[in-house]
Amino acid sequence: MCPPSQRGVSWHTLATILAMSRFVRSERRKLADLFSTVGPDAPTMCTGWVARDLAAHLVIRERRPDASLGMFIPPLRSHARNMLRSFASRPYPDLVELVRNPPLWSPVSNPLVEGMTNGLEFFVHHEDVRRAQAGWQPRDLPKEDQAALWKSASLIARLRLRKFPAALLVQAPGFGEVTTGAGGEPLRLVGAPGELAYFLSGRQRATRVQIDGPPELADRLRTSPLKI
């Protein structure tokens, strides 16, 4: 019998998928609890959206793929906006319960794929609510959750920063580092995995990271239009 790594899916890969699925379920539960605590009109880090709007976005993403396409296909944007308004007008407790209990048939939240499709989504939007409230502090996440976030952050760093005009080193002490950028002067971005993931999702100003290098490049990195 050949070892697991030669049969298609290694035990390490399976363990990673299971860890990510557990992380998604935990973030979903905590976000739903936070939605209930702060109320429908609480601010979020998503410009123009309060908690009700963000909850509606998550529900649409999982339950209405036709409306979700509006984020990427211009002709469907009007449909997406109308659908968001429709879901956001529902009774808020009902909306939160839809976030808490995703449909098993969903292309993004079924158990086979949720670890890959929802890990960063729910972490970032959980932080979008947390960090819009007064007195927020970075969470002390378990090591396995940080490891899962680093996998996502390191991939995003390679993709989103590959054209950035610097020789960029992204480091998560204790978890790893990646090099990216288009080359040029050296620049180093350092932080905990969760902070890096949030930074790379376009929320640079609301993160606790360290940037070492030429001030003009550091400022440019902090204001680049990065999107999740």
For residue 198, the domain's CATH number is: 3.30.1050
Range of the domain at 209: 145-223
Number of domains in the chain: 2
Is residue 139 one of the residues assigned to a domain?
no
Phi, psi of 200 (to 5 degrees): -75, -10
At 164 the pLDDT is: 96
Last residue of a domain, one of 132, 167, 185: 132
For the chain, how many helices (H) and strands (E)? 10, 4
**How many alpha carbons lie under 13 Å from residue 21 in its C-beta half-sphere?**
13
Q: What is the pLDDT along the chain (228 residues), one digit of tens a residue?
A: 444 444 455 666 566 667 778 899 999 999 999 999 999 999 999 999 999 999 999 999 999 888 777 677 777 788 888 899 999 999 999 999 999 999 988 888 887 788 788 889 999 999 999 999 999 999 999 999 999 899 999 999 999 999 999 999 999 999 999 999 999 999 999 999 999 999 999 999 999 999 999 999 999 999 998 864
**17 shares its domain with 120:** yes
Last residue of a domain, one of 132, 157, 191: 132
